[in-house]
Every structure is written in structure tokens, then in C-alpha cells.
Structure 1
Amino acid sequence: MTEVILKEGERIDGLPSQNVHIIQNPDMFSYSLDAILLAHFAGVKGKGAGLTVDLGAGTGAVGLFYSPKVIGKIKLVEIQPELAEMAQRSIEMNGLQKRVSVLLSDMKDIFNDIQPGSVETVLSNPPYFPLNEMTKTNHDTHYELARHELTIDLPGLAQVANKLLKNNGKFYMVHRPDRLTDVFSAFEQRKLRIKRMQFVYGKSDREANMVLVEAIKAGRPGGVRIMPPIIAYTPENNYTSQVEEILYGQAWS
């Protein structure tokens, strides 16, 4: 890891199993377990030589945690300059400048930089909460953009992913189970066929609070596989052995 000088309020967090470190500022935004689980869930086609794009990358956690699984290039798309700048420094800290880059842009405006139909894999940990007249947003702009659909909604995200992907390219996303109806509708209308899902539970006696989704562009309808669940915490509020293996075990294959 290359030595880095941190700015006020910043810290370095890491994922031991992948030997990747991320610069972040908790006063702006910090990644959480959903980013790690998405990077772990996302598959690799062939040797992983194709282009990967992380939409709404924030400080780059999903794309950087995914990077040891592939040999191809990764583009991190982020609209907030402060988060994009931290992602760039994390790239340099991890020595990944030759393969990973940051694109500071609204994801709807990236097609002059990324050719439509050129991407093998799209990753996204998008805002979970839709906007309506009852929405109560966070007063912090960084968290508002990360949590609420201020700049793009699910149909818009699905459209961007569809336009980026090659035929049979794959889109991996983490979202909330209570938005699954919206997810299925947005994907189906844009011919992103859901093929694999995995639910994540905070504890074994609670309802699922996350769902990991794999969709394929222009795939055949049907054939959805529901993977074994992930249970995050024990009754004593420690990580389960399942999650500990993801965080601290062998590098992901």
C-alpha cells in the first residue's frame, strides 16, 4: 500500500480479505456492509478482462473491492467532487492507477467517455429511497445524494446500465427488499433479466434488509435462482462466521 496523507476528518478503512484500503470521511459518507457484499456477490465473466463500470461509486468501495477479482479496467462514476477525489486517492494508495480510474460525472452524461454497448459488468449500490411528498431527506448533501433518488431513479439507473452493457453483459445491484417490485418493473422494461438473487438478514430472526441482484442484458425470461441467505450478525451482535469469512478470510475467487 502506498503511503497517503489524509485530510482533516478522513480515515482509512480496509477489507483484509481483498487487501484493499479505502479513504473516507464519515462526515461526508462512509461505505457499509452492503458495498462489501455487492462486490463479493458480483460474478466474473471468463478471465474478467472486460470493462467494469461502478455507477454512483462514492468513495470507490464497490469497484475497488471488486478489482482483485478481475484483470480488466474499472471505471468509477461519481457525481460528487469530494467523494470522487477521495476515490482517486484510494486508487493511488492501492497502486491501481493502471486499471482503475474515476469519472466525475452525472451517470446519465457518461456516454461521451464510455461507449454504449462496451461494458461487460456494471455494479451499483444506488440510493435506496424514492422521492415523494412525504420524503424527509438528510440535511447533509453528501448523504442526501447517497440515500435518496435525487439525481436518478431506478428506471433511469436501469436505462443507463442497459445502454452501457454488451448483450449478455451483467448488472449487479444491492437494494432494499421492499423495492423489489420497482426493481423488477424497471429491469423488465429495459430487458435486464434478473437471473440470481440473494437476501441478506441482519439477524436470523428478522426480515431481510438487503437484496443482491444479478441481471443479464437481453437474457431469456425466467430461470431466477435464489441463493442461500446471508445472516450478518449473531444474537450477541457479532459478525457471523459467514460474514467474517467474507471480510477476513481468503481472497474471493
Structure 2
Amino acid sequence: MTRVRTQAEKLLEGATATLTHAGVASPVADAQWLLCHVLGVPRAMLHRASVGGPQRDAYLELVDARARRFPLQHLVGSAAFRYVEVEVGPGVFVPRPETELLAGWAIDQVRDAEAPVVVELCAGSGAISLAIVHEVPQARVHAVELDLPAFEWAAHNLSGTGVDLRLGDMADSFNDLDGAVDVVVANPPYIPLDAWESVAPEARDHDPALSLWSGDDGLDAMRVVERVARRLLRTGGVVGVEHADAQGESAPAVFVDRWHDVRDHRDLADRPRFVTATR
């Protein structure tokens, strides 16, 4: 006997088809997360959940927005990052899963230290700093963000954590910490200016321009990070910086002349993802 599909299952099927047609990379998961958001239930409960008229209308509006390539995280208002969650929306870069590896590297450098000093450059939503203080509560974390709307999101996400968040240009930030920092970590802008067409609409049309573009080769901000990290770090301190998968050679090259143990690290898809080096 054929089982009768629930209203939730019918909604999910239609939403998945809509998102697939729109070119969304993960249509099944996105359709599910949006319905979870509207109904306030975990994914395991979706197929048995009842859907009222107002909830159905709200869901279809969200699916339409997602099909127009509004970021999923903007629609649900938050993004998961390691063991924490940050609120996000228009005006701030949405943290990506790949960056969790960089945050994990930074955490591993200071996990067993007594009172390590960590600086995050280009803080965006504050996700990396929040993950560090969550997993290494004894760390003294400082962060800086240039873009005012992003700074306001970070200030909200880091409120009450003890993170020293500052508004300003990373190039001349934290002069009071020169030579006293154990780890510098950054996810700077790294997309070349001529790569517009290759960037997903979710990022190109909704992430702040300051968080995306970085000169003709995508490494202008990386060069600033190199100079600032060299000034901030103590001897033996380390820096970790995310880069595009096409920069697996050019990003480490920024560090080779003045740093030790320059290494590139790959992400879970085995693509070059971040460079580390020792002062």
C-alpha cells in the first residue's frame, strides 16, 4: 500500500525542485534547514511535523528568497561554526565551513598554554575569535575589523566574551601588543578583482566587498597580514591565514623570505586552503 505523503514532505519536495532549478549547491539540505527554521523543529522531526497556513506561506517566501540566491544563513539569521553559532545578516561576511580548519589550527597552537595571546585580523562576524575563547577560555583574544557594519555584527556576537574587539585598519592595529602575541590568525579578502564571474552569487551579491576583493592577484591583504603579524608576534609565534584554493603556491610565497616553517594546509576537499608560518 502506498504511503500518503505528509504536507511537510510535499513542501520539501517542491522546495528542493525549486532550489535545484535555481542552481543552489545544496538544495535538499537548504530546503530542510529553512523548514526547520520556520517550524522550530529539528530535522529528524520534519517529516512528522504539521504545517499551518501561515507557516507554509512563510516557508515559501524563504524558499523564493533562497532561489534568488540570498544566503541561507541570512534567511535563518545565524551560521554554525565549530562548536559555536554566530548571528549574521546583510553587512557581514558569512563564515564558511572551510574556515573552521583554520580556527582549529589556531586553537591547537594555544590549547595547552597558560594565558596565550591571540590576535584575529579581519574579524568579520567574529566567528574565529568566538570559537577560540569558547574552546580555550584562558586565551586573551584581540580582534580588529575595518568595516563598520561587520564590526557591529562582531560586537554583538562577541559581547560578554572578554574579546578585545577594535574598529580600525589591521595595518596599524594593536601597536600596544607588538612582540607580545603568540598566534595571529586571519581570513582576509583574497579574491582577485578580475574573478567576478567565478564567485557564487551568494557571496558576490551579498557579502561585503571589503571581505572579498584584494587586488589584481588577490594577495594585497595577505601582504598586509604578513607585515602586521611579523610586528605583533613574539619570536617563535605563529601566523595562519586563509587563501583561495588557486593560491596554494602564491600565498606561501608571501612568507618565504622572512619566516620559518612556511607550510600550506589543505581543506577537507583536499584543496589548498591556508598557510602557516613561524616568526
What TM-score, normalized by structure 2, do the two folds share?
0.61
1:81 corresponds to which letter in structure 2?
L
1:110 aligns with 2:173: yes
Q: Give the number of the structure whose residues are more often helix, by fraction.
A: 2
Q: C-alpha offsets along residues 96-138 of structure 1, whole Å, 9 cap, x if unaligned?
A: 1xx31211111002144x321111111111212234xx45388
Q: C-alpha offsets along residues 165-191 of structure 1, whole Å, 9 cap, x if unaligned?
A: 111001112222321222222101232
Task: Tell me how far apart the structure 2 counterparts of residues 201 and 13 of structure 1 sit (CA, whole Å).
Answer: 19
Residue 162 of structure 1: CA displacement? 1.0
2:105 aligned to 41, 44, 60, which one?
Answer: 41
Residue 56 of structure 1: CA displacement? 0.5
Decide whether the 8 Å contact of 1:130 with 1:153 is kept in 2. Answer: no
Change (3 A) 1:51 1:211: same
Where does residue 177 of structure 1 map in the other structure?
Answer: 245
CA RMSD of the aligned region, Å? Answer: 2.7
Change (3 A) 1:59 1:184: same
2:122 aligned to 53, 56, 60, which one?
Answer: 56
Spell out the pairing of 1:80-95 with structure 2 (5 A cutoff).
80-92=147-159, 95=160
Where does residue 139 of structure 2 map in the other structure?
Answer: 72
Q: Percent identity?
A: 26
Structure 2 runs not aligned, ≥5 long: 1-73, 198-202
Residue 141 of structure 1: CA displacement? 8.6
Structure with more relative contact order (C-alpha pairs < 8 Å, separation 6 or more): 1
2:164 aligned to 86, 92, 101, which one?
Answer: 101
Q: C-alpha offsets along residues 183-231 of structure 1, whole Å, 9 cap, x if unaligned?
A: 222101232531x5431243xxxxx4342332111xxxxxxxxxxxxxx
1:14 aligns with 2:83: no
Where does residue 29 of structure 1 map in the other structure?
Answer: 93
Where 1:211 maps in the other structure, the secondary structure is strand
Structure 1 runs not aligned, ≥5 long: 1-7, 203-207, 218-253
Task: Tell me how far apart the structure 2 counterparts of residues 28 and 152 of structure 1 sit (CA, whole Å).
Answer: 20
1:22 corresponds to which letter in structure 2?
V
Change (3 A) 1:34 1:153: same
Q: C-alpha offsets along residues 65-123 of structure 1, whole Å, 9 cap, x if unaligned?
A: 1223321211111101111111111112xx41xx31211111002144x3211111111
Change (3 A) 1:85 1:198: same
Residue 159 of structure 1: CA displacement? 0.9
Q: Give the number of the structure whose residues are more often strand, by fraction.
A: 1
What TM-score, normalized by structure 1, do the two folds share?
0.67
Where 1:44 maps in the other structure, the secondary structure is helix
1:215 corresponds to which letter in structure 2?
A
Task: Tell me how far apart the structure 1 counterparts of residues 181 and 246 of structure 2 sit (CA, whole Å).
Answer: 29
Give the count of matched residue pairs. 195
Change (3 A) 1:66 1:33: same
